[in-house]
Structure 1
Amino acid sequence: MKVQVVDYKDEKAPELFTKSLKETGFGVLVNHPISQELVESIYKNWYEFFNGEQKTEYAFDPKTQDGYFAPEISETAKGHTKKDIKEYYHVYPWGRIPAQLTDEILNYYKMASDLAAELLDWVERHSPNDVAKLYAEPLSNMIKDTPNTLLRVLHYPPLTGEEEPGAIRAAAHEDINLLTILPAANEPGLQVQQQDGKWVDVPCDFGSLIINIGDMLQECSGGYFPSTSHRVINPTGKACTKSRISLPLFLHPRDEVVLSERHTQKSYLQERLRELGVI
């Protein structure tokens, strides 16, 4: 089954969206409440930030994980040996944010978090009863007043031809969190792996919203909702000269939220961050 494009305003949207998540790990929403004008402005302003010198003043804090992550300390996806070709900034409402970017990015953070809570309600409403019984508390309640939801502003720089052989913008990986909310980037490249192992492009028309399942939803649903592998491939031709900006919001429950008999949010996150080599 292909990733489904669902009209947010369709009365069947909750059912269709959850069905797509279950069958592909992804769903795409159109006619959603996230302002495209706001997203485009964020892309423009953070592109300027990544191409300036100010970013070096906000080097990430290893303890709090907020701030700027330079390309040389970028993530190495689980199971891979080469670092991704990217730089990024971790935005938390309590964290450090450049003054000229604060109001706009926090406005987006709240807008996307509010929508995320609604989408989690959709998922719970259309979970089979035996799966819903596994949730220690309502899914949307897991992220209520959480300090852990992460907004990552990603910059994939133009390719120079001097990249490490075999390195790509984002190697195949699964996300750690419950759901990831992602406005379509300003350039294509996002792919999802189907159950048969084939990689397919995720619909990325500018203005659409891409949502995928993370490991924590897989954990708390007893595996019913699959955390799906995805990647960002390197462009070819003239597209190599273009930057790619991406704005994923990773929904993380509060530390103490019980995901399963094995894990709370905090224990699961610490395990995965150690695997990624960032702590």
Structure 2
Amino acid sequence: MKLEAIDFLSENCEAEFVKSLHDTGFGVLKNHPIDQDLVETIYQQWQEFFNSDRKTEFTYNKDTQDGFFSSEVSETAKGHTQKDIKEYFHFYPWGQMPEELRENIELYYKNTTELAAQLLSWIEAHSPESVSEKYSIALSKMIENSQQTLLRILHYPPMQGDEPAGAIRAAAHEDINLITLLPAANEPGLQVKGRDGNWIDVPSDFGNLIINIGDMLQEASGGYFPSTTHRVINPTGEQVTKSRISLPLFLHPNPEVVLSERHTAKTYLMERLRELGVI
């Protein structure tokens, strides 16, 4: 399996994109409308933030999950024992935030959320009837005015050489939400697990936008769209001295949205957060 970037401006983009999501759980878009200068500015601003002591002024709120998570409290992926080698900041429009960084982050959040609604409408339009009839409401309506959609500003620090055995930047996992939007990071490392069990590098060309299916859409579609396992591997060679910034936007439905006979969005989220050990 090889992931190819699909031209957002091409005539067949919608169908090719949704087919990629069905086949692999991932889609990669080029020539998309997200401003790359804005992304690069955010990378630079947040690298400075993570390099400073100011981050400790915004320690996360355990009840609301907004703010800064240090490497000491970062996630342990489901089925793993070592914490990921990363630190991150959870941004919600209603949450705590360094004011000097707010303007660009709010603009990025707004633009990517609007694009996500468009992509969800594509997914619904190209779902087989037997799948679309499972959706309790339109997919794009599930996220409308949602207060749960999360922008995570991730920082993978340079490798020090004393990391615990078996620890990597992000251990193999699946996302919880409907879909995730991720501009290609400033360094490579993201891999997706193919159906044959082999790991495939996700194209990391700056300017690509990476979209993957989360558990909630897998649940809502009865498994038609797979929540594919992915990871971020440790760098080698000269890359070990470099940080990696990443900006995944996790699109979450409103809590009351019915995903399936088993779950609402809220019950599914709580179950997974307990598994991750963050609540």
For residue 4 of structure 1, report the CA deviation from its aligned partner: 3.0
- The alignment partner of 2:252 has SS state of coil
Write out per-residue CA displacement over residues 138-176 of structure 1, whole angstroms, 9 at most, x where no aligned residue: 000000000000000000000000101110000000000
Residue 125 of structure 2 corresponds to 125
Cα separation, 1, equivalents of 2:38 and 2:152: 16
* Structure 1 counterpart of 2:71: 71
* Secondary structure of residue in 1 paired with 2:153: strand
The letter for the 2-side match of 1:154 is L
- The equivalences for 1:1-279 within 5 A come to 1-279=1-279
Moved more, 18-27 or 1-10: 1-10
Secondary structure of 1:168's aligned partner:
coil
Number of aligned residues: 279
Unaligned runs of 5+ in 1: none
> Deviation at 1:11?
1.7
SS at match of 1:73: coil
Gaps of 5+ in 2: none
> What secondary structure does 1:269 align onto?
helix
How far, CA to CA, are the matches of 1:4 and 1:221 in structure 2? 24
Letter aligned with residue 277 of structure 1:
G
Mapped to 2, the partners of 1:237 and 1:202 lie a distance apart of 19
Matches of 2:75 and 2:21, distance apart in 1: 26
Aligned residues: percent identity?
66
RMSD: 0.5
| CA displacement, residues 180-230 of structure 1 (integer Å, 9 cap, x when unaligned) | 000000000000000000001001100100000000000000011000000
CA distance in 2, matches of 1:266, 1:25: 23
Paired letter, 2:26: F
Is 1:91–1:97's contact at 8 Å kept on the other side of the alignment? yes
1:125 is matched by which residue type in structure 2? A
TM-score normalised according to structure 2 size: 0.99
1:2 touches 1:24 (CA, 8 Å); kept in 2? Answer: no
Amino acid of the structure 2 residue aligned with 1:189:
G
Paired with 1:223 and 1:21, the residues of 2 have a C-alpha distance of 12
**Contact 1:76/1:277, CA 8 A, preserved across alignment:** yes
**Amino acid corresponding to residue 261 of structure 2 in structure 1:** E
Report how far residue 3 of structure 1 moved: 1.9
CA distance in 1, matches of 2:167, 2:4: 30
Give a deviation string over 1:39-88, Cα, whole Å, max 9, x none: 00000000000000110010000000000000000000000000000000
CA–CA distance in structure 2, aligned partners of residues 244 and 26 of structure 1: 21
Tell me the SS of whatever aligns to 1:152: strand
Instruction: Indicate conservation of the 8 Å contact 1:60/1:66, yes or no.
Output: yes
**Offset, 1:125:** 0.4
Letter of the aligned partner of 2:173 in structure 1?
H
Say which SS state the counterpart of residue 152 (structure 2) adopts: strand
Q: One-letter code of the match for 1:254? A: N
Letter in 1 for 2:185: A
Cα deviations across residues 100-127 of structure 1 (Å, max 9, x unaligned)? 0001000000000000000000000000
The CA deviation at 1:132 is 0.2
Counterpart secondary structure, 2:192 = strand
